[in-house]
Structure 1
Amino acid sequence: MSVSDLARSLAERAETVCRVYLSRGRRQGAWWCVGDVLNHPGRSLYVRLTGDRAGKWTDASTGEHGDLLDLIALNQGLDPVSARDEARAFLALPQVFQRHPSLASGSSDAARRLFCQGHPLPGTLAEAYLRARGITGRLDLPALRFHPVLWYRPHPDAPRQSWPALLAAVTDDAGRITGLQRTWLDRDRPAKAPLATPRRALGHLLGNAVRFGSVTDLLAAGEGIETMLAVRSALPTLPVVAALSANHLAAFAFPPGLVRLYVARDNDSAGRKAVARLIARGAAQQGLEVRPLLPWGEDFNADLLRFGPDWLRGHLVGQLVPDDAQRVFGHRGRG
């Protein structure tokens, strides 16, 4: 895409560009007004949003002016080549949030909106990442999506970067998205991105989880997405949830009608404490039994990578109540 084509494509999405790069501004009629190209509050800089001059901007206090490609370069402190790369990454974003009101960055609404921007996993870097983690089960799962260029900042004042990411929806018992976990991925190999914190969550997580499969009276719960997908790779008909951390696992809200909860704990002190808290909570709830599932190594994903799905299946089945093992293997559907 040429420079003129990039500028034209950005102009066609002028308001979206402004909402991303000039988020402290606001729309006023056919214009977006903000303090300056660095996104300070104010009204000195204005960007035309519609018509033949869409994308053109002027800073009345400095006399600077240009198109949106110029603005991105100044806003991000980029040279012309890097600015074009940034623009191309931006234009790959689904434009589903144009004209939406701004949302609190850590809210459940923000989590829902971001998840809606994702794509199904099959054929993506996110699928390649999970396959490299040994996951053999189905990945066309409603709770998982892929985002090709998701923004990342090491800290609030750092320049923004874009990386591909795995998105995992956190839901409540009714299936409403309350939060989201983002796992940023390496662009060139099936691994997490080389970032200080390649996993981050937002929204309301406490009591909720990333859910795989429909819960009846039987469920397995654990911490990480990879851990619980490993369990599901070995036992594809067993419904599982990932609470994302030991503390959130300990606070997981028991679904209505649950009779037996298996806790696929990590092999560390935090995992042991989470199981103990869930057992104590289960004991206080009549008719609910909580039983641990113990990995051989540090967690079940590590076991899957080391020993394979057949070994892991046998290891898990040996820890199930016999009636549950019969149910898991007697009705092996698509899950």
Structure 2
Amino acid sequence: MMARDASDLAHRLGRQAEAVCREYLSSGRREGRYWMVGDVRNTPGRSMFVRLIGPESGKGAAGKWTDAATGEHGDLLDVIRESCGLVDFRDVADEARRFLSLPNSEPQPTRDSGRKAPAPTGSPLAAKRLFSMAQPIAGTLAESYLRKRGITVLHGAGSLRFHPRCYYRPDEHSPTETWPAMIASVTDLADRITGAHRTWLSLDGGDKAPIDTPRRAMGDLLGHAVRFGVAHDVIAAGEGIETILSLRCVLPHMPMVAALSAAHLAAILFPATLRRLYIVRDDDPAGDGARDNLIERANAAGIEAIVLSPVLGDFNEDLRTFGIGTLRAAVRQQLAPEDVARFLVLAA
């Protein structure tokens, strides 16, 4: 029989509680009547326990879990949501049906399980929840991916996180998939999360995932950005996260923002204290257009605009092709003299 609501799905999952845990909480292990793991996001540890044996509903039901460290509790739908990084209930339900080998339908979420109501797909709230589900990138496949791209300076990168099983659907007619992903928070000038950007990764972290669109953004993006450092009088602004992180390898103390596209770069909002803007240009027609628009806007606001141009397509390509020493020398020639001493890290 096709599942029609969240309660039915949770009951069905509870009947296969151990199999669900082995699939979505693989960092844990069975101990007696429980599955022990670090938390609902599949972190190694022992503070969270899932009941593997018990009645279908009520106190002590199979599939119910509690995290003794945080007081969090829920059912196996919550496990799927958190461990996969899903924020839309439809996606959680579809993933549960995939696991249970059930056909898809359009169930409505119930409100008696203690779970949050699903956020609208693609909304700022959905972005905020997705970012909160992810973990710091240190020691993860996201860090491996960035280092593979030549990016070794990752201090002050709190806007980046990692999710080991982030939900991916090519289109509304295709089956769901899960891939590791680097998650970036998009914030406004007051540091409120308005969106999120996902870069799905290969299973070994060596490259982007072999999917049609390995990068996608969600939420309210216009005017906002992925931020590194706290902006004052000087910032650098560019399109891509990896472009900006490459520049931070030689200018680690300069606040920077990644707007995620040329159109959004042209529309970034300026902090009230900004006096000099470095425009990190990509070498393509869209990058030229963003550069021209930003120069005009900055000049109108009384902000000095200086363009930083790569030798090749972007600064990550320069870093990987020529190395950090050549990148440092090229950037130094384009900086305002006072910013060389203030921001540029010389070779050791």
Q: Same fold (TM over 0.5)?
A: yes
2:340 corresponding residue in structure 1? 325
- In the alignment, which of 167, 170, 174 is matched to residue 154 of structure 1? 170
Cα deviation, residue 310, structure 1: 1.7
1:64-107 deviations in Å (ceiling 9; x for gaps): xxxx789622247xxxxxxxxxxxxxxxxxxxx96011110111
Alpha carbons of structure 1 residues 22 and 316: separation in structure 2 relative to 1, 3 Å: closer
2:71 corresponding residue in structure 1? none
Alpha carbons of structure 1 residues 313 and 4: separation in structure 2 relative to 1, 3 Å: same
Alignment of 1:74 onto 2:136 = no
Alpha carbons of structure 1 residues 212 and 155: separation in structure 2 relative to 1, 3 Å: same
1:16 corresponding residue in structure 2? 78
- The answer to whether the 8 A contact 1:293-1:319 is kept is yes
- Two-structure CA RMSD over aligned residues (Å): 2.9
Alpha carbons of structure 1 residues 261 and 71: separation in structure 2 relative to 1, 3 Å: closer
Alignment of 1:5 onto 2:67 = no
- The answer to whether the 8 A contact 2:281-2:308 is kept is yes
Cα deviation, residue 229, structure 1: 0.1
Structure 2 CA distance for aligned equivalents of residues 113 and 70 of structure 1: 23
Greater mean deviation of Cα atoms: 3-12 or 151-160: 3-12
One-letter amino acid matched to 1:304: L
Alignment of 1:285 onto 2:301 = yes
Runs (4+) of structure 1 exceeding 3 A deviation are 7-10, 17-25, 68-71
1:171-214 deviations in Å (ceiling 9; x for gaps): 01111010000000000341000000000000000000000011
2:38 corresponding residue in structure 1? none
Alignment of 1:255 onto 2:266 = no
Alignment of 1:177 onto 2:193 = yes
- The answer to whether the 8 A contact 1:165-1:183 is kept is yes
- The answer to whether the 8 A contact 2:137-2:161 is kept is yes
**TM-score normalized by the length of structure 1:** 0.74
One-letter amino acid matched to 2:63: A
- In the alignment, which of 293, 309, 312 is matched to residue 324 of structure 2? 309
2:229 corresponding residue in structure 1? 213
- The answer to whether the 8 A contact 1:127-1:139 is kept is no
Alignment of 1:145 onto 2:161 = yes
Cα deviation, residue 38, structure 1: 7.2
1:114-129 matches, cutoff 5 A: 114-129=130-145
Structure 2 CA distance for aligned equivalents of residues 70 and 284 of structure 1: 54
- The answer to whether the 8 A contact 2:277-2:305 is kept is yes
Alpha carbons of structure 1 residues 247 and 98: separation in structure 2 relative to 1, 3 Å: farther
Structure 1 CA distance for aligned equivalents of residues 98 and 275 of structure 2: 60
Structure 2 CA distance for aligned equivalents of residues 98 and 210 of structure 1: 32
**Unaligned stretches of 5+ in structure 2?**
1-15, 21-50, 53-61, 65-74, 105-112
**TM-score normalized by the length of structure 2:** 0.72
**Unaligned stretches of 5+ in structure 1?**
26-36, 40-67, 77-96
Structure 1 CA distance for aligned equivalents of residues 198 and 299 of structure 2: 34
Alpha carbons of structure 1 residues 24 and 123: separation in structure 2 relative to 1, 3 Å: closer
- The answer to whether the 8 A contact 1:121-1:139 is kept is no
Alpha carbons of structure 1 residues 134 and 98: separation in structure 2 relative to 1, 3 Å: farther
1:80 corresponding residue in structure 2? none
State the secondary structure of the residue aligned to 1:281. helix
Cα deviation, residue 282, structure 1: 1.1
